[in-house]
Amino acid sequence: MISFVLLCKVNNYHAFLKVNLCYFCVKFYILEVYFLGTGTSQGIPVIGSNHSVCKSTDLKDKRLRVSIWIRWEDHSYVIDCGPDFRQQMLTSGCTQLDGILFTHEHADHTAGLDDIRPFFFRQGDIPIYGHQRVIANLQKRFDYIFELENKYPGAPSVTVNFVANNIPFALGNKSVIPINVMHGTLQVFGYRIDDFAYLTDVKTIEQEEAAKLKNLKVLVVNTLRKEPHETHFNLQEALDFIALLKPEKAYLTHISHLLGFHEEVQKTLPKNVFLAYDTLEITI
Ligand SMILES: [Zn+2]
């Protein structure tokens, strides 16, 4: 396969297009998103569960803890770094990590931080991005990673980048817009990059934040189950939110076994809404 990068003008802005020439097909893309995990905090199957979805043999019903890998040109980032991070890096074939964007501090989004070690050994300090409160929480839970003196030689190091609402920040050669959402009473950041937005653990969102999500090609948003939940969108809330924002396509993630079988739930969704599944890759 031959790869090269072109600078093109698309819709009045300049974009780098990576071109892969693979046998007889030519593929153009700008941003690649790989779903590393699409499950809720316990993952699917849940340990010890006899639920039929947990027993399903369909690989799309196996869901690791929620995370995505985003790539463009030679840039490579993940959003969140949960307890399945090591397995997800091995399965996806990710060999370069330019940084981690954290949505919030809950363990299903952060517990894999120690496993950045192979990237740290090859690349040096790994940049992390998150709300000041989230970084403070990581400093408490992973104190050895942030130690500056008498540090254990095998421990990884990070460089800290604080994310604040209404302040877009640079990621490689792109700009990221933080989206402030609420996970019950806990503040969480979603992130918009170009025409792509990733929102997880949302229960409520203010109108001015939703206004930052206009004209999306792809929206990823959490959907826990059909029944209501105190801190997560259920299916109807997620579909209402998608209907309000009108992205070209939407993918549902952070899914509980209680939502049902992937194949059956997919059949009930509007034609531009898809259940994400682990290892799904999309280009924007
Ligand atoms: Zn979560």
The neighbour count for residue 143, using CB atoms within 10 Å, is 10
Distance (Å) from CA 129 to ligand 1 centroid: 17
Distance (Å) from CA 119 to ligand 1 centroid: 24
Which pLDDT does position 4 carry in this prediction?
Answer: 52
Identity (one letter) of the amino acid at 260?
G
Q: What is the rounded average pLDDT of the residues 96-121?
A: 98
Which pLDDT does position 222 carry in this prediction?
Answer: 98
Distance (Å) from CA 204 to ligand 1 centroid: 15
Asked if 112 contacts 86 with a C-beta cutoff of 8 angstroms, the reply is: yes
Which pLDDT does position 26 carry in this prediction?
Answer: 43
Distance (Å) from CA 223 to ligand 1 centroid: 11
The whole-chain average pLDDT of the chain stands at 93
The neighbour count for residue 80, using CB atoms within 10 Å, is 26
Distance (Å) from CA 148 to ligand 1 centroid: 30
* CA 56 to each of CA 42, 62, 160, 252: distance values in angstroms, whole numbers, following the listed order: 16, 8, 41, 19
Distance (Å) from CA 153 to ligand 1 centroid: 32
Long-range contacts of 84-89 (CB under 8 A, 24+ apart): 84/36, 84/37, 84/43, 84/112, 85/36, 85/112, 85/113, 85/115, 85/116, 86/112, 86/115, 88/36, 88/37, 88/64, 89/115, 89/118
pLDDT in tens, 249-280: 999 999 999 999 999 999 999 999 999 999 99
Cα(129)–Cα(102) distance, integer angstroms: 6
As a whole-number percent, the residues of the chain with pLDDT over 90 amount to 89
The pTM assigned to this predicted structure is 0.89
What topology does CATH give the domain 31-283?
Metallo-beta-lactamase; Chain A (3.60.15)
Q: What is the dihedral of CA 262, 272, 189, 281, to 10 degrees?
A: 60
Distance (Å) from CA 108 to ligand 1 centroid: 5
Distance (Å) from CA 109 to ligand 1 centroid: 6
3-class state of residue 132 by DSSP: helix
Distance (Å) from CA 168 to ligand 1 centroid: 23
Distance (Å) from CA 23 to ligand 1 centroid: 41
Identity (one letter) of the amino acid at 256?
S
Distance (Å) from CA 222 to ligand 1 centroid: 9
Instruction: Take residue 222 and report the two structure tokens written for it.
Output: 């959490």
Distance (Å) from CA 183 to ligand 1 centroid: 9
Q: Say which DSSP state 60 is in.
A: G
pLDDT in tens, 2-47: 555 555 555 555 555 555 554 444 445 589 999 999 999 999 999 9
Distance (Å) from CA 209 to ligand 1 centroid: 20
Asked if 251 contacts 269 with a C-beta cutoff of 8 angstroms, the reply is: no
Which residue, 195, 199, 200, 243, is CA-closest to 215? Answer: 195
Distance (Å) from CA 14 to ligand 1 centroid: 35
* CA 5 to each of CA 25, 29, 74, 97: distance values in angstroms, whole numbers, following the listed order: 16, 10, 10, 20
Which pLDDT does position 78 carry in this prediction?
Answer: 98
Residues of the chain with CATH 3.60.15.10: 31-283
Distance (Å) from CA 1 to ligand 1 centroid: 38
Distance (Å) from CA 117 to ligand 1 centroid: 23
CA angle 200, 204, 206 (to 5 degrees): 110
Q: Is 107's pLDDT higher than 50?
A: yes
Cα(252)–Cα(272) distance, integer angstroms: 11
Asked if 199 contacts 177 with a C-beta cutoff of 8 angstroms, the reply is: no
Distance (Å) from CA 280 to ligand 1 centroid: 19
pLDDT in tens, 168-207: 999 999 999 999 999 999 999 999 999 999 999 999 999 9
Which pLDDT does position 27 carry in this prediction?
Answer: 45
Distance (Å) from CA 10 to ligand 1 centroid: 36
The neighbour count for residue 248, using CB atoms within 10 Å, is 12
Which pLDDT does position 24 carry in this prediction?
Answer: 45
Distance (Å) from CA 111 to ligand 1 centroid: 11
* CA 229 to each of CA 97, 202, 236: distance values in angstroms, whole numbers, following the listed order: 34, 11, 11
